[in-house]
């Protein structure tokens, strides 16, 4: 049902401390967001309701699997009640894995059979029909991120935002676990006999395997461009990449960053997308931050990946491609058209789909916009993702790197980037 040993949001000791500094309301606890997001002890008067700003207080579900959790991610009360009813009616043996509580929430949305794609369509009405709160709708429709929003459908961003908000609860739970482990470690040290501690003390640190990995892996020092290397970026929330790195900085699992089919360069397969433009990654991170629950409770970051040119050169020439939008050469347009619509790639383009690395332009339009076109010939420069303006000057269009998830290539990519992947603080967190 969940990635966690239990579905309690707060560990027992934290819950007891919160009870003295917040209000319990049935299945919810009203507490300071800053307090629950902290890695420090909650037993501090500065986090009591009487001493924090009103806009720092929020309602959090006591349990991750609850009707209150559905409301936290953005469903209105009546929608949450309906989804919860479907959940509790489901046989226990059918719950878990794919069919978790949030799946039931998404199924509630699917059953409306409504969606929006274009700028001209009424996204607010569709999101309202999904049973989502006004604040959820406002967050998704934030005009500062319209360019990014229009690259996908209304349903896509509803699902993505629900997942994002549920992961934010996971982040709060991990911090709670970390605080509890820290307290236990401190208490254990205090209880050690003086003789034992002076002879051969046992070393304990926050990087021990028994500790949940805290957010100390984030660095505010961003890597710089290096001669003979390419620096790539991706903006997303920290909880999504919690398994990316081992405690020693080596790469553990790239799979947490994988993108689903129907991207620009992957019709029916999975893959990894990055960009050379840090400002583009910052925009995606900022959009995630803006869509997290009220008070922006999730931490976002930039993933920086340093790829050596020697590794790029080692990729066979027929397994790497450059694919750029062109007014006369329509190869990019045709390939993106087929990928975004989930088509079987035509035989004359399969040399591209066989590539392990594709560098090229980014489409700035969604599936419906492409579906409305008579053919790929109608794709124009207006369908590219713009980087916006800086000091009034256009930055140009975004670019992207796509890596396939072919197992042999992915193994090579992990080896080539080992200790060259970093979690960096995003501008949205400053």
For 257-294, how does the pLDDT look when each residue is reduced to its tens digit (9 = 90+)?
999 999 999 999 999 999 999 999 999 999 999 998 76
Cα(301)–Cα(114) distance, integer angstroms: 32
pLDDT of residue 148: 94
Residue 3 has pLDDT above 60, yes or no: no
Instruction: Report residue 197 CA to chain centroid gap.
Output: 43
Sort strands 357-361 and 320-323 into parallel, antiparallel or unpaired.
Answer: parallel
Residue 309 has pLDDT above 90, yes or no: yes
CA distances, 301 to each of 152, 243, 249, 284 (Å): 21, 14, 16, 10
Residue 169 has pLDDT above 50, yes or no: yes
CB contact set of 255 (below 8 Å; sequence gap of 6+): 405
Per the CB < 8 A criterion, the answer to whether 403 and 259 are in contact is: no
Mean of pLDDT values over 292-316: 89
Per the CB < 8 A criterion, the answer to whether 158 and 130 are in contact is: yes
In three state form, how does the secondary structure of 99-121 look? ECHHHHHHHHHHCCCCCCCCCCC
Of 16-25, 73-82, 92-101, the one with minimum mean pLDDT is: 16-25
Tokens found for residue 232: 């790539």
Which strands sit side by side in the sheet containing 229-237, from one edge to the other?
A: 218-219, 421-425, 300-308, 229-237
Query: What is the pTM (predicted TM-score) of this model?
Result: 0.88
Of 39-53, 146-160, 317-331, 384-398, the one with minimum mean pLDDT is: 39-53
Percent helix / strand / coil, the chain, rounded to 5? 45, 15, 40
Considering only residues 94 and 77, tell me which one the structure prediction assigns the higher pLDDT: 77
Residue 177 has pLDDT above 80, yes or no: yes
**Positive or negative, the Cα torsion across 245, 251, 254, 257?**
positive
Taking alpha carbons only, the member of 393, 389, 338, 344 closest to residue 363 is 338
Provide the residue ranges of all domains of the chain, joining segments of one domain with +: 12-169, 218-429
For 9-57, how does the pLDDT look when each residue is reduced to its tens digit (9 = 90+)?
887 556 656 655 556 677 888 887 777 777 666 655 555 556 666 677 7
Taking alpha carbons only, the member of 320, 342, 332, 341 closest to residue 384 is 332
Residue 225 has pLDDT above 50, yes or no: yes
């Amino acid at each position: 049902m969940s990635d966690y040993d239990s579905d309690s949001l707060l560990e027992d000791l934290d819950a007891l401390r919160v009870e003295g500094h917040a209000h319990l309301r049935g299945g919810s606890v009203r507490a300071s967001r800053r307090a629950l997001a902290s890695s420090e002890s909650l037993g501090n008067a500065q986090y009591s309701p009487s001493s924090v700003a009103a806009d720092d207080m929020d309602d959090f579900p006591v349990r991750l699997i609850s009707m209150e959790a559905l409301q936290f991610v953005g469903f209105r009360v009546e929608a949450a009640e309906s989804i919860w009813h479907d959940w509790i009616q489901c046989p226990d043996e059918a719950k878990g894995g794919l069919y978790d509580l949030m799946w039931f929430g998404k199924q509630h949305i699917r059953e409306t059979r409504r969606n929006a794609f274009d700028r001209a369509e009424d996204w607010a009405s569709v999101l309202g029909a999904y049973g989502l709160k006004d604040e959820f709708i406002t967050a998704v429709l934030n005009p500062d991120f319209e360019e990014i929003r229009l690259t996908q459908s209304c349903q896509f961003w509803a699902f993505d935002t629900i997942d994002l908000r549920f992961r934010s609860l996971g982040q709060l739970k991990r911090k709670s676990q970390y605080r509890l482990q820290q307290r236990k470690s401190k208490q254990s040290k205090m209880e050690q006999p003086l003789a034992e501690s002076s002879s051969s003390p046992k070393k304990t640190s926050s990087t021990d395997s028994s500790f949940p990995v805290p957010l100390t892996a984030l660095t505010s020092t961003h890597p710089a461009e290096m001669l003979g290397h390419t620096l790539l970026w991706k903006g997303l929330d920290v909880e999504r990449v919690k398994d990316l790195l081992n405690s020693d900085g080596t790469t553990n699992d790239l799979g947490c960053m994988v993108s689903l089919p129907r991207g620009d360069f992957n019709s029916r397969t999975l893959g990894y997308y990055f960009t050379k433009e840090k400002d583009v990654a910052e925009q995606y991170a900022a959009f995630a931050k803006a869509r997290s629950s009220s008070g922006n409770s999730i931490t976002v970051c930039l993933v920086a990946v340093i790829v050596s040119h020697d590794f790029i050169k080692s990729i066979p020439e027929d397994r790497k491609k450059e694919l750029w939008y062109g007014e006369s050469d329509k190869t990019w347009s045709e390939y993106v058209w087929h990928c975004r619509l989930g088509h079987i790639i035509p035989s004359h383009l399969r040399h591209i789909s066989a590539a392990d690395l594709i560098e090229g332009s980014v489409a700035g339009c969604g599936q419906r916009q492409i579906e409305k076109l008579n053919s790929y010939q109608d794709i124009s420069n207006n369908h590219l993702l713009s980087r916006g303006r800086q000091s009034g000057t256009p930055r140009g269009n975004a670019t992207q790197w796509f890596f396939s998830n072919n197992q042999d290539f992915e193994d090579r990519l992990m080896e080539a980037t080992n200790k060259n992947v970093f979690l960096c603080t995003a501008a949205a967190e400053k």
